[in-house]
Amino acid sequence: MATVAKILAEKHDQSVHTISPDSTVLDAAQLMAKKKIGGLVVTEGELIVGIVTERDYARKLVPMNRSSSETSVREIMSSPVLYVRPNQTRDECMALVTENRLRHLPVIDDGKLIGLISIGDLVKNTICEQQFIIGQLEHYIRGDLGE
């Protein structure tokens, strides 16, 4: 079973993008668009105070008919933030995202933010592991049949 540490190591871009809670929602949206990501960890110094995602924008800002340039991230961010540790398993993460309807999980090690995994990262890892197992089974079957 894959761990969070393994999933992080396999990511092409291991950057974690953060934003201040006092930044505007427009700043957050522009940063997410520029980086082609769906969420930002909201930090004050090294303290994680929330997470802001495209979903927060769509479900909180737009229905309130508020201006993204006049609304702070603090006003729409999700808080408190559920997080995982590097030694946790993919299945534990899948349970967290499923039960809590999340798309992003910050990774904390020794009190520090070291990464961010998405539901996409978890699904990709699951598919890769299943493809490997299928390949091994196919090889085994072909070997047993003398081909």
pLDDT, tens digit (0-9, with 9 covering 90-100), for 90-137: 999 999 999 999 999 999 999 899 999 999 999 998 888 888 788 888
Q: In what order do the strands lie in the sheet with 39-44?
A: 18-19, 39-44, 47-53
Question: What is the per-residue pLDDT across 6-45, written as a single tens digit (0 to 9) for each?
Answer: 999 988 778 899 999 999 999 999 999 999 999 999 999 9
Per-residue burial over 79-91, b = 16 or more CB atoms within 10 Å of its CB, e = otherwise: eebebbebebebe
What pLDDT, on a 0 to 100 scale, did the predictor assign at position 102? 93
Output the pTM of the full model: 0.83
